[in-house]
Every structure is written in C-alpha cells, then in structure tokens.
Structure 1
C-alpha cells in the first residue's frame, strides 16, 4: 500500500486549485482476462500555471496528453499519481492505460463462475478505488459528470449509473455509450458487466416520472432470486422516503445487482446498487438474515438522497452518510414493511456492535479525525454506523420526527448535487426545530465513549420506594457525561408473564438525576432503565432485577424489553462484572422460548464466545460439552421447521465437541437421523460437515467429496473454511500458509479461511501461530491491498487462544512497531484489547 495514500491536506489543496466539468471514460473489456484498456478524457478548470496530480493505479500507462501536448509518461507517472504541470484556466487531459482486473473487491472485480465458466465483472470504488479503473481526481468533493462508453461481449448485460443504451454491435462485440451522469462523486460511479440474469419492473415517482427497476444476479443463481419480493420492498421504500423527505428520487433508474465475492453488504452506487450475493438465498437462512436484507435494501435506497444527491466534502463526515442511512432504513423497515420489530433488531444487533466498538482503545468521536485514506478505511466501524445511528435516533426523539424530516428535506433541496459538512445539516435542523444543536453536537459527536446508567434507590421496610435516582458514569479515558432522554419501566410477574406495569420518561444529565415520580411506588420485580431504548447508554440492573431477569427473561412480554435485558446481561459479562458461566446458564435457560430471530442469532454467537474464551480455562472443555448437549436438546424440542430449530442445529454444529455430538451430526448428514421439519440443504450440509471436521471425525476426503457435489462459488468458500477447521497444529499451519504466504487467494477465500482457522474447541492447535502471525503483520500490510490485508490480519489472529502468552506477543509487537501506520496499529490494538478483556472475564469466572 505505500504510495497509495492521500491526505486530507492534499485533497483540500487540490480542491482549491481544480474544478472538474466532466469525464469521458472508455473501457474495453475484450482485451483479455488480466487487463482492460482504459481511456479517460477529463475536462477541468484550474488556476493558470498551477500544478497538481490526477490519480490512476494501472498496470501500464501508454500515453498522457494535456491540452494537446504529449507528456513523458515515465517522467509524470509513478503508478499511482500522474503529475500535471503548467495548467491553464481550461484544461483537457487524456490518459490511455491498461488497468488491471482484481479479485479483492477493490476496483473492477473479475469472477469466473465455476458452474458455467462465465466471467462476471463489477466495480467497487469506495473509498479510493475508481482510480484503479480510470484516471480521476479521487476525492468526494470534486464532483463531475461521468460519461461511460463500454466495449464488451455483445451477449452481456452492461449496467452503469445511467439507463443502459442499446449497444452498437459488430460481430460478437457490443459498445454501449451511456449518457452522462448528473454531477456526482467518483466513488459512487459504477460498472457491472457480464451474462447476468435480469428481471425488470418499474414504479412511478412522486413527481410522476416512470423509474425503471432492475434486479440482476448470476445465471447459476437465477432460480433462487426472489425478485418480486425485492421489487415490493423497493416500492415501499421509494414511497416512504419520497413522502418523508419531500424530495423525489434524484436519478433516472434504479438497478439492484447481486454480485459475487463482495466485501461488504452493499454499496450505494447512484442508481446502480451492488449487493453481496449471499442475499440470494440458495438455501434456508434465518429470519434474522431475511430481515437484515430488507434493512440493507432500504439503507442503500436512503443513500440515493443522503450521500449521492448530497455528498460529504471529506471522509470525516462518512459517519453522517452511514448513520443517516442506518437510522432511516430501520425507520422505513419498521413503518413500511412487515418487519415491524426492526427497532428491537436495531437494539439487539446494531447497539451491541456500537457498545463493543465504543469500549475499545481505538474508539473515536462520531465525527472522527480523518487525516488520510488509511484512516477512513478502518473507520467503517460500529461508531460510524451503529453509534451514529443510535445518536440520530436520540436526536430525532429530541427535536421531533416531523421537524427532523423538514430539516432533512430542506438540506436536500438546498445542497442538491453539492458537497457539504456537518454544520450544513445542523443549521437546517435548527431552523426546522427551533433548537440550538451546538451543545448536543459537542457532547455527542465530538467526544468518544459510552456512559453507564445505574439505578439507585432507597426502600421503606415494606418495600415502598422512598427515593430513586439514576447514576451516570463514564470511563476515565472518555469522561464526558451527557444528557439523555430515558424511560424507566417497572415490570411485574402477572399470570407467568413479566409485563410492564408503570413507566416514566424524563431527561437526565450529570452524575445523578433524581426521579421523584417513582417515589411512593412499591418496588417491582424488575426495574428496567432505558425502557423502549431511547438512549445510547449501557445499563445495569440492580441485584433483585438481575435475579428476576435470570429466572424470568423468557417471560418478559415485550421483545424490545427482552432485548435490553439480554444486552445488559452480556455487557456485564464482557465487563467481567458477572461470571461468564452465569451468562451461559442464562442463555441455556431462556433461549428456547425466545421468539425474535436476531436475538437468538446474537445470543448464540455470544454463548459460543463465552464458552470458548470467557469461562475459566479449567472449566472450558466441560462448558463446551454442556453447551453442545443443551443445544442438541433445544433442537430436538424446537417447533419442527421453525427458525429456532434451524438456528439451534447450526449452533450445535459449531460447538459440537464429543463423540456423541459427532454421531448426531453424522446422522443428520447421511440421513440416518432426522429432526422433523428440518431440511438438510447444501449450506446446512457444509455446517454439519464443519462440525465433524472440528471433532476429527471427517477430513479432506469428505471435504473433497462434498465439494464435488457442490462445486459452486459458495461451495468453494465453505470448503476453504472446512479445510482450515482441521483441529491440528499442522492443519492450522497449512490454512495460515495457504493465504498468508502467497498472494492470489480471492477476498472471500481469505475470509472463509480465517473463519475456519479460528473454529476450535481446543485452542492449543493455534499456539504455533502466535510467533508466525506477529512476524507476518508488516509483510502482509506492505504487500496486499487494504481489504485483503485487513482480512488476513483479522482472520489469522489466533484470538481464541485468549491467553497471556498471546497478549504478551501482541504487546511486544506494538512496542517494537511504534512507527507503524495508525491504521495498522489500530487493527493490532483492537486484537490486544479483545484478549485482555477475555483474560479479565476468565479471572472473574474463576
């Protein structure tokens, strides 16, 4: 990655010199499997006599022509930047190059489907990767019109930001000349090409325009593509956002393309949204995943206004893009679709992510300091998405939804096709609501850390509350105490149901806030702070409430209240305030009655983490065995064909640890054992096989046989995970070497290998990798693109060891590499924090 960085200062200096009118980008995709011809002509204005640079990462630049003069390519091009000297008031630059296809999801990704041998392409440009496809001033505030001309096999689908024109066909080759885009940022331009299968529809926008719709996926997945459902969600999202924002959809068409080996969930390219094709359900998935897909669809749609129509000036406001889309998509999901419990899901999943991220040493204010591209790459995190979305939810509660939407609509109209900063939005929200948001911004957006809220009360001899207060604390590193809008709920057990019997809502601030409204009430069985999840804060239960929760969590009537209690219990476990073994007991006693798919999914993942890394090492093996036994029993007792049954079987496969467990997995896999209602499809077969490999009950022969029957992209990823799961030191070393020692593995193979490497019951097989990993950190960072480097450094870290030897090795690397770039150090610092937290939890569990 050396030389590919761009600092904010450089971007500001360039923006002061240059204003871009438009690009003509011609791409020839018929030149082979490794490179494609890229010809860029850019028209821009500049200060007379100024010098600057344009970005382009390519295999070879053939020519650079500036204002009619041929420049010496060797003199002006270093492989990352092309230097431009002696600029005029009006300039025209043409760059002809061979650019490279990638298999890392950064630039123009090329994938060959093992099912039919067909090649599929898609672009992914955020943060700095349109420069891998064409010459460009790669920063969000230098907006321009982009006109793409694409030469490709005539039988392909070719899709970009503008409606696809009819190609000019000569023999087997076609050329598509797209109309220019509106003024947009380079990172949301897009190109998707290949023999994709498409389903088309349309809708009518609020201004009366007909908006063409398209849903695309690979031909070998087409039978699994539920396009009608996705069109229905899309129409509901359009109607909801156009009504709420008061601004019609800003582009001419809306295509949604499900593409292979995608690094993220989706990307908001203007009018040309790309999604991970794991959202094309070839096998059974949990209801949690189905709901997440809906939220993702609406998240990207919200970006068409917030992010695409109006774009941040620099990446320090990335949070505003993502937080707004996260909040808006959850609101739309809850109010415009059948997934009415979306805010419960938000609390369970997003806020858990936010609280975890906000307690790392690398936490940062929501408005982060983004000095350069490396800073922003690591900032796609729980602060940027989940904490920001939580804080926006709180802001909406404070100013009112109607005022908030009025301010947002005014912001879109005022800054359409422009670039903005946070203050531009806040000024519109202040005008609409009449509130001063300066203090709110300083405390919530410009400081880091999460507050913890605890109830404090005094009781009379007969259990009457004589005084009640809410205490607020903050970590020493981030000592800000913040104002919160909060509710307090009282819950009593009535006919075996724990339901709310009283609620008060109030503003709190400072170290302690009295709640006189609760004086005189009989102390209830459960007191729940932050009832209805209005605030962004960790909560603690008093001892009696915790005892009630442990015994009756399954009996809490409202899903959101259950989610809050689940979250509080896990948070206390992570903070080593309660033993991990108690959390294991809590999950096993209550998860069988849980009805919310996302809560089940999250609790099972946390159960695995607690059993493997948080319980004391002396009782770890026994705990894992006990959990496996309980999960199998839960699977047998679950309603046939239910989401819970499906999740319990998957969790059992992941934690199986005995011969009896392996026998159950083998029976499900070969059909000699059945669970009523459970279909053993291709993906579940891989999960069951993974559990057998974990226990040494299957190996390469079985993996190869399963892959032979499922030689698909997904099958190959599952096979990589299974091979990395082999529970021996030799197996772990082979998995590590397969992706770390040689470049070439795709982004998804890297990801799945990491998942298998860390899938252990006995973590001693990872001990030889401690020194190996730390020796490889800097070479990996220096030799790989960001996405692959991060995937390797996260996936190959032997975190499950969670012992002092691992912590010491990581501390030593940090001490010896103080000059390593901040983005790299952050990854390693977060690893160390995870191990140190696990060690504290183990000590508490002792």
Structure 2
C-alpha cells in the first residue's frame, strides 16, 4: 500500500508541519479474553492514543496506523470534532486537515497481534501454554500498535498505560509508576500498569513486552551517582537455563556500562535497563530505550559453539552501545541507519576485546562480520555506506553487510586515521551537543574534525559516499641476498566503482621460527594513497617469509599476496600464532577462491589442514561454511561428488582427532552431519542418536539430537511420522521449529511439494516455523529435486510480495541464516541465472527492495556458475 511505504520527502514535509515535542498518551488493553493457559487465541487488542502536538496553523498532515481496514478504527476525535474513520483512514494513514497551532487527536482502534515478529508479536509456548508478547518497531512498526507520527525525527514524550492479565508482567521503556487492579470483561482478573513518562525519544524505540516472564534483578551504581535498576527476563520454559547464565550476563552488561561511560565521558542516561529474551524473534536484538529485546535462542539449553557464546556477548554490548548512539542521539532519517549500526558494531567489538575475556574479538570480527561485508560489497546491489533511502522499503533491505560490517570496518579505519583519543573526544562532543534530539553524519564529522584537526570531507567522500571495495596487492623486489630493494602496495578498484581511497594501515613481516610457528618480526604503519605506495621503511630489510598488508586489520580492502607469500600462506596457515593474522589471511584466500583466482580444491585442502589446529571459534565456524560452499558449488561438477565425499570423511576424521568435548569437536560433528553423504552415514548418525556410536566428550543433548534428526531426514532415513514421534517426546517452541526443518529436508518430491505449499499458504505457522520449513526445503543438495522449482519460484515472487509482510517476503524469497528460503540454490545455476535475468528484465518497475532480493540471489548463482566453470577448465 502506498501509505504504508513512507517516503523521505513525505517525512521531511511532515516534520516541517509538526512543531515542538508531541505528548502521547497510549492505552493498550491486552486482556482479550484469553485464559491463563493460552487455550483461547485472540488476534486483537485495544489501542487508544491521544496526541497533543503543535503545528503550522491551516496545514494538513497525517498519522500512521496499520490495521486491517477502516472498520478497525472505532473513532477519531480531532480538536473537538468527531471524524468518520471511513472518511479519514486510507492506506494506513489518518488524514488531519486544517491544523491549529495547538492540537489534540484521539484515535481508538482494534489492532492485530502479529505472528511474523513485526509490531506486537504474540507467541504461545507449547511447553506450558503460556502466552508471551513483545514488540518490534524498527523500521517503523509502532504504527501497528498505536496511532503515531512514525518517523525518527518527530521525537516525543510517551505516557503508557497497559491493562493485562493479573499473572503477567508488563515491561515498557520506563519503570511503572503504579500497578492497580482493573475491571475487565471475562473470567480472569487483570492489572492496569501505569508507567512513568519517557524522555524525549523516537517512536521506533518504544517497546511493550507482556506475559508471565521469569525475571532476575540487580542494579548498577551509575557514574553520575544514580542507581540504575537492571532486569533480565525470559520465558518460564527457559528459566532453568537462564538461571545458569544470568549472573554472567549481568556482569557483561555492567562491564559495558563502565567501558562506554569511560570512553565517551557520558554516564548511562536512562532510568532502567531491562533485557528481555523473547521467542520467535527476527533480529538478533533491538535497542528499545531501557527495554532491549533479544532473541531467546541466546538462552542456551544445549551446548553451543564458543562462536555463538561470544556473539551473545557482542550482541548484548551492541544494544547497550545504542543507548547512547542511536537512542540518546538519533538519526533524522533512515539514510543514517548505517551510522547507528556501524558504530554499535565497532564499539561492541572494541568493548568485547578490551573489557571481557573474549580478547580475540577482532579476529572474530574479521572472520564473521567483515567477510559478510566484503561479500555484500561485491554484489551488483552494493551501495555507498551512506545509502540513498528514498522510502521505508529501501530501509528494510539496508540492514545488510554494508550497513553493519563494512561500516564498522570503516569506522575502525577512521579511528586509525584521526587517532583514538581524538575520535572519542569528538564522540563526546557529538553526544553532548545533540542529546535527546536528532543529528546527521555531517554533525558527527564536524565534531571529529574539531577534535582531530583532520579534514574529513575527502575521507567521507571516498569511504562513505562511494560504493565498492579496493584491492591492495603486494609487489616486492629483492637483490641476490634477499634484501628488499622495493616494496609497494598497488591499489586498484573495480570498474563499476573506480575510486581509490586513502588507507591508514600496517604492513607486517612474518617468519617461520625454529619451533615451527609463524611469528610477526617487524611492523610498519603508513598512509597508503593512490595507485602505488612505497613502503619505505621496508627497504634494506631482509625479505621475510610472509608479507601481510593490512596487518592488525586497520583498513577495509581485499588483499592479494605476492607469489612467495601466497605459497607460504597456503603451506603454513595453521602455524600463524596470532588469531587475527590467521583470520586476515584465511579471508584473503577465500576471497581469491570466490573470484576464481585460487582453485577451490586448493582452498579446501588448506582449510582442512588448518582446521586441525584452529582454536578461534568464529574463524573455525566460517571456515567450515566456506569449505562447504566451495565443495558443493565452486568445484568442477565432474569431480564434485568425489570432493564432497572426501571433505565429509576428513571432517569426521578431524572430529575423532579433536579434544574430547571441545568446541572444535562439536563444530566438526555438526558440519559432518550437514553433508549427509557416505555409504555409512545413516548408520553412523543413527548410532550417535541411540548411543551405539560415541565420541569421547560429545554430549547428545536436545539440540544435537535434533541436528542428527534433521541430517537423517535430509538423507532420507527418517520420515514425517518418525519426526512427529521425536517431537511428541518433548514438544517445545524450539523443537517444533526443528521438526518443520526436518520435514522440509526429506529428499522426496512429495516432501518438497508439501514444504513449498505450507511455507507459502499455512497461515497458522509463525515466522520462525516458516523460516525453518523453508530452510529445510533448501537444505537438500539435489539438483533433480530443486530443478522443478526454478520456474515456480519466479512465478511466485509477485504473489509473495503482494500478500506477505516485508520480513516474511524476505524470508521466503531470499532466506535467512537458516537457509536460502524457497530459492532453489542447488538447481542448475545456468538455469537460475537465465530465469532470474528474464524476471529482472520483465520487472524493471518492481519495488527496489524486491528487485534487490532477486538480483542478489541471481548474482550468487552467477558466481557459482562462473567459478565452477573456471575450476572445470583447470581440471580439464
């Protein structure tokens, strides 16, 4: 609907009409007649909003509200007049005309609970029947819950009142002022929660969470002398698991409070800090002021990788950083979304590395986040970090590797460029000057220029306003004695984005020592600018075994090593003692593989050898994923099956060799299960399930059990009835999702047809169930099973876009971390490319966000085709 997709121009015009700071009174009725066990499902809740606001007299404007139809709007009272909802409500907007200088509008509506993680999501836990509600309002979905001027630069003060079942806890942005008994229709008693008014804030940062949440509480002695109450909440079914970690999570959060207050010179600004771990959550977390929501897969009932445990820490610290950067000072429009997310990602990694036990956090960042950013930056849909955001749909798809990972990498480069002390002086000035208001990138750069004395206009033009990634290649010359006579860094740019950038970076010399390790022996820091830069400090030095440009990962660029260094890296990757250096080298080798400059089998063999000794969990995790992609999609088709079988066998052998109970053993077994290949695979997997096959220290807990079940399903060794039997033994929210994935993974035409139809048309499924079901559909590496869905996929695109919310369209058409959605990525890539190109040519006027999803899918298939053909020629 056009009204739902607010444009930047409309937002500018509305901000010009609305003056001052509006005052909201929002009253929600969440009782809805539900019984305590959730046995009666209601889809609706009551919402009454009164807004007092100043405006340009005589002008017109509109409120945002998303409901099914005008019939859902019971009444609109505006400046003493009663407006007919059918006359003023259209396209998710309530039109207000003939504004006065001082205005009051009251809207009463029946709003709908969401089951897609957008707006006010309602989840019923099958383990105990408990109902849990939580809100998710970014980009702008507060309008799904109350009438609002839903754009970030119309900050307001909010007064919230919520009526809910008496057994529930209600949490919003502020502490409760008082909680009273409420009279409601129905069998059960209710409470009315009246909350303290919020500080001036943006609507997308308001939040509502309600339900019988388990909770723990502590407090923080804030740097300004206040005592800040802190809480952690989760579902009752996860209470025992959370209890094991709650003290640790409180400690991590308090470390973040202290670290950020010290770095920026500004204490935590809000009245409380609650963290709610909520079910069926689309994002990792959300920085609602004082009420952070976090996906409850971060409550660990089963063993998880160290990579995920570290990611939880980074996520907690990421959202905490937003309390200052994004919440206290907020972007004016979504084109500066990158600044919020990049800054939080940079700061959370810095805090993790310097204030927690995860000291290798920058290696984690390089392997995970930065590799994501570099891959995103090489797609045809790449965009400048400061992306043009013409409307809300543009915003949705810019929660990507450019916004988060490239942006954070570039901020790290900026810190190196201006100096850390000057950087944080500038941040302090920026936050102080613009607190409780909105600001732009120009405002930030002005403070950083003043603090550092550096002219950042050229820097911004190069790094923030131009798309694409540079390549830094090493050129070295030596004399007969191995003494360096010339060492140069050659910089190039892709033809589509021909900009050369100024880089502040380090060059490291590494040598193989007598004890068999590779150690850094010298380091030079310098400015690299233009097409060729000489490393003058290296001249006259003895050539080392390996030369690493971008040592310590200070800048953002692709790397290409000189021939001798490349050969050394391929032979000695596992011997680098520094985790960050290993990560940088590994990522460069992977990039060469993706660009058809390094044989896929060479990358696989190097990686398998390095995995035998690698201990940095995120590097380990991403290397396993890269080996999988290389084996299944980049190798020559004629030898692919043999390569995949060899990789699977190697992973199983590595799992046997790994330390008992180690993170490496755990990851290797899970990776091996993902291949589902080999004559004895099913028997071995079933042995793990029934205990007849064991690995020392490997626990078959709930999640590992379901990993095995899903693997057996994908191998065709368990059917839907068998999966249902496994689920019946322990039916939880998580296990229902696992069961959907397992059923979708069964390698039969009938199972794929069922999964396809259910994912598209079963309205009773939650967002997470659909994502797992689609993930199972895409899991089976069978071109024969997926080929029939090439045509069906491209025929379904328009229908999905018209009938699903944005998030569900993205989950179905492009996929999530659970898989590629309904895109049949194992089908013949040439067919996918042809069909995709034809769809794009026929849909030039389609929404930019939709075209981007399809274009990125097609680009992935195009790369698979190009790289596999190159590898075929090598073997031919």
**Superposed pair shares fold, TM > 0.5:** yes
Whether 2:391 is the aligned partner of 1:365: answer no
**Structure 1 match to 2:836:** 810
SS in 2 for 1:175: strand
Whether 2:762 is the aligned partner of 1:777: answer no
Match for residue 186 of structure 1 among 183, 200, 203 = 203
Match for residue 55 of structure 2 among 43, 46, 49 = 46
Whether 2:552 is the aligned partner of 1:551: answer no
**Structure 2 match to 1:282:** 301
Shift of 1:122: 0.2
Shift of 1:845: 1.2
Cα distance in 2, alignment partners of residues 761 and 625 from structure 1: 13
Shift of 1:460: 2.2
Match for residue 208 of structure 1 among 211, 218, 225 = 225
**Structure 1 match to 2:486:** 467
**Structure 1 match to 2:533:** 513
Contact 2:759–2:774 (CA<8 Å) still a contact in 1?
Answer: no
Shift of 1:3: 3.8
Match for residue 434 of structure 2 among 405, 415, 422 = 415
SS in 1 for 2:605: helix
**Structure 2 match to 1:25:** 26
Contact 2:142–2:148 (CA<8 Å) still a contact in 1?
Answer: yes
Deviations 1:257-303 (A, max 9, x none): 00000000000000000000010001000000000000000000000
**Structure 2 match to 1:588:** 608
Deviations 1:458-488 (A, max 9, x none): 2223333221111001000000000011211
Shift of 1:2: 5.0
Cα distance in 2, alignment partners of residues 802 and 124 from structure 1: 38
Match for residue 862 of structure 2 among 830, 836, 846 = 836
**Structure 2 match to 1:664:** 684
SS in 2 for 1:138: coil
**Structure 2 match to 1:630:** 650
Shift of 1:742: 4.1
Deviations 1:405-453 (A, max 9, x none): 1111111111110011111111111111111111111110000100001
Whether 2:133 is the aligned partner of 1:121: answer yes
Unpaired runs of 5+ residues, structure 1, are none
Match for residue 320 of structure 1 among 327, 339, 352 = 339
Contact 1:635–1:645 (CA<8 Å) still a contact in 2?
Answer: yes
Shift of 1:663: 1.5
Whether 2:146 is the aligned partner of 1:134: answer yes
Match for residue 154 of structure 1 among 153, 156, 166 = 166
TM-score by length of 2: 0.95
Shift of 1:79: 5.1
Matches within 5 A, 1:549-628: 549-628=569-648
Matches within 5 A, 1:156-305: 156-170=168-182, 172-225=189-242, 226-305=245-324
Contact 1:621–1:761 (CA<8 Å) still a contact in 2?
Answer: no
Contact 2:170–2:211 (CA<8 Å) still a contact in 1?
Answer: yes
**Structure 2 match to 1:102:** 114
**Structure 2 match to 1:390:** 409
**Structure 1 match to 2:741:** 721
TM-score by length of 1: 0.99
Shift of 1:619: 1.4
Cα distance in 2, alignment partners of residues 630 and 759 from structure 1: 21
Shift of 1:30: 1.1
Shift of 1:589: 1.5
Cα distance in 2, alignment partners of residues 97 and 469 from structure 1: 67
Shift of 1:605: 0.8
Cα distance in 1, alignment partners of residues 149 and 394 from structure 2: 19
Deviations 1:772-801 (A, max 9, x none): 100000110011110111101011111233
SS in 1 for 2:680: helix
**Structure 1 match to 2:704:** 684
Cα distance in 1, alignment partners of residues 780 and 480 from structure 2: 52
Whether 2:560 is the aligned partner of 1:540: answer yes
Cα distance in 1, alignment partners of residues 222 and 770 from structure 2: 42
Whether 2:472 is the aligned partner of 1:446: answer no
Shift of 1:802: 5.0
Unpaired runs of 5+ residues, structure 2, are 34-41, 183-187, 815-820
Shift of 1:818: 1.0
Shift of 1:92: 0.2
Cα distance in 1, alignment partners of residues 433 and 132 from structure 2: 39
Shift of 1:744: 4.0
Shift of 1:844: 1.7
SS in 1 for 2:27: strand
Shift of 1:574: 0.6
Q: How many residues align?
A: 846
Contact 2:511–2:546 (CA<8 Å) still a contact in 1?
Answer: yes
Contact 1:613–1:802 (CA<8 Å) still a contact in 2?
Answer: no
Cα distance in 1, alignment partners of residues 338 and 803 from structure 2: 29
Contact 2:178–2:195 (CA<8 Å) still a contact in 1?
Answer: no
Cα distance in 1, alignment partners of residues 565 and 754 from structure 2: 49
Contact 2:4–2:91 (CA<8 Å) still a contact in 1?
Answer: no
Cα distance in 1, alignment partners of residues 775 and 594 from structure 2: 22
TM-align CA RMSD: 1.1
